[in-house]
């Protein structure tokens, strides 16, 4: 069973609910060109392979970190609303791309960003499916799916 393809709440497809659907990118103008193109390519692949029953905006930032509501500095975050009619969102920090590129190479640096996005999208599917899990279980599952989705994508493209 794939978390990304099961939906406990099937009523998202009800045309009378007026719930927007899909995956939308919002990329800062200062984001590196290679990162921008890689994320756009990955998003196109995601839209072909997976459904997003509640619109999921992804904000791609040119900063090194994102500050969470708890005050933590992270490279990715998922905002999980209390009700299903409110749109969630993801924020991804990509400002350390050039530093990563120097230390681990272009493809690995881009793969790292794609992994982070996949990890955060897993939290979206946990939310959609209303999974009751501890924080540790949620993170562990998101790590596993981050790897899984990255491997799937790597099998479909020559480079990230």
Q: How far apart are CA 126 and CA 132, in angstroms?
A: 9
Tens digit of each residue's pLDDT (9 = 90 or more) over 26-85: 999 999 999 999 999 999 999 999 999 999 999 999 999 999 888 899 999 999 998 877
Tens digit of each residue's pLDDT (9 = 90 or more) over 72-128: 999 999 999 988 778 999 999 999 999 999 999 999 999 999 999 999 999 999 999
Cite the DSSP H helix spans in 85-134.
Answer: 97-104, 106-128
Q: How far apart are CA 109 and CA 102, in angstroms?
A: 9
Tokens at residue 16, please?
A: 């009378």
- Total-model pTM: 0.91
Distance set, CA 102 to CA 51, 76, 112, 150 (Å):
35, 21, 13, 21
Name residues whose C-beta falls within 8 Å of residue 38's C-beta, 6 or more positions apart in sequence.
110, 113, 114, 160
Q: How far apart are CA 155 and CA 63, in angstroms?
A: 30
Q: Give Dmax (Cα) for the chain.
A: 51
């Amino acid at each position: 069973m794939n978390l990304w393809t099961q939906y406990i709440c099937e009523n998202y497809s009800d045309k009378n609910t007026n719930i927007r659907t899909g995956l939308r990118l919002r990329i800062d103008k200062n984001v590196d060109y290679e990162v921008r193109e890689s994320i756009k390519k990955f998003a196109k692949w995601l839209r072909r392979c997976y459904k997003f029953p509640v619109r999921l905006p992804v904000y791609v930032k040119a900063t090194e970190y994102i500050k969470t509501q708890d005050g933590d500095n992270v490279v990715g975050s998922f905002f999980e609303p209390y009700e299903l009619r409110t749109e969630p969102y993801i924020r991804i920090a990509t400002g350390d791309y050039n530093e990563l590129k120097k230390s681990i190479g272009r493809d690995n640096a881009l793969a790292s960003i794609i992994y982070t996005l996949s990890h955060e999208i897993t939290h979206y599917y946990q939310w959609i499916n209303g999974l009751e899990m501890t924080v540790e279980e949620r993170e562990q599952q998101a790590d596993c799916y981050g790897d899984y989705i990255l491997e799937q994508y790597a099998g479909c493209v020559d480079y990230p």
